[in-house]
Amino acid sequence: MPTTLGELADRFDCEIRGDPTVVVDSVGTLSGALPTAISFLANPAYIAQLKTTGAGAVILEERHQESCPVPALVAINPYAVYARVAAFLHPTTVSADPYVHSTASIAADAKVSGSARVSAHAVVGPGAQIGESVVIGEGSVVGANVIIGSKTWLAPRVVLMAGVEIGKRCILHSGVVCGSDGFGFAHDGGLWVKVPQLGGVLIGNDVEIGANTTVDRGTIENTVIEDGVKLDNLVQIGHNVHIGAHTVMAALCGIAGSTTIGRRCMFGGAVVAVGHLKICDDAIFTFHSTILQSVTEPGTYSGALSVDKASRWRRNAARFKTLDSVTRFGQVIRENDTGD
């Protein structure tokens, strides 16, 4: 969708440095962009590429504009502006035109909006409610009494088990399973007795869930994912977990059952949390961190220790937490040591 730099500035509330009539029709990297593409600089490590870029324009912060040889859009958050510009120049190719494929199976009492699209070999179960402009991808399964809000998109081979509720404008990528049974078993005399999983899954608006991520249904009450949450590929959300609005998790995170996570939290790749914890708003966990206790104060947290016998690991973990105070105490002793 070709557009001028001036039109982009007006649409995305940026300042222009240079010719506003420059036309761009795509996005590209600083090093590889063509003259008809717009690029961005969000990381100062790429400043050398900015100076030699062949892009037609660049989105950047004001402090970097002197290094830019081409017209620029100046923004406080260049990466966020780039995301919106990219979506504008490269609109989704998924068609939401009303359509029900001849091979789709729709229960007689399901309610499917006339503006929805149900693709080949998709299944819509009894009592399901499919909102306006919803897209159900090829081979996806929508179980009994599932509710899907307007403009939500299911990629091919998504599975929503019975009773799942999805909000508006959500994106679920291929392989997502929502509403599978939580890992609930009672130990009895060396045997494992399955605990019925009777709750559901409630997902808010504007949620995106990556490929092959799973969200378990609750044991009695619901598993809840609030508005704006973003889950990467291969994330596991256990039963009765509650994730606050606008929290994000990178790939391979695992959250055990009944943990409550606050709003705007950030989880790096492969972060795991044991069950029944409470994590406050605005907590950040770096790559491969292990969360073993509740977190009550916002901030950045790190830590992962190698596996060991549990009893020794617990003792060492307790000692590890005191190292900082021990080191300070030792330093005081050394400074006051007279050699006597």
Residues annotated as part of the active site: 239
What are the φ/ψ torsions at residue 311 (nearest 5 degrees)?
Answer: -65, -45
Note whether 277 and 291 are within 8 A (CB).
yes
Which of left, alpha, beta for 327 (phi over 0: left; psi -120 to 50: alpha)? alpha
- Compute the distance between CA of residue 167 and CA of residue 202 in angstroms, rounded to an integer: 8
Q: Which amino acid is at 182?
A: G
Q: Which two three-digit tokens encode residue 72?
A: 């620029």
- Compute the distance between CA of residue 19 and CA of residue 165 in angstroms, rounded to an integer: 48
Distances (CA, A) of 124 to 96, 108, 114, 142: 17, 9, 14, 5
- Compute the distance between CA of residue 137 and CA of residue 169 in angstroms, rounded to an integer: 15
Q: Is the dihedral of CA 104, 107, 109, 110 positive or negative?
A: negative
The DSSP H or E segment spanning 165 is strand 165-166
Specify which residues 254 forms β-bridges with: 236, 272
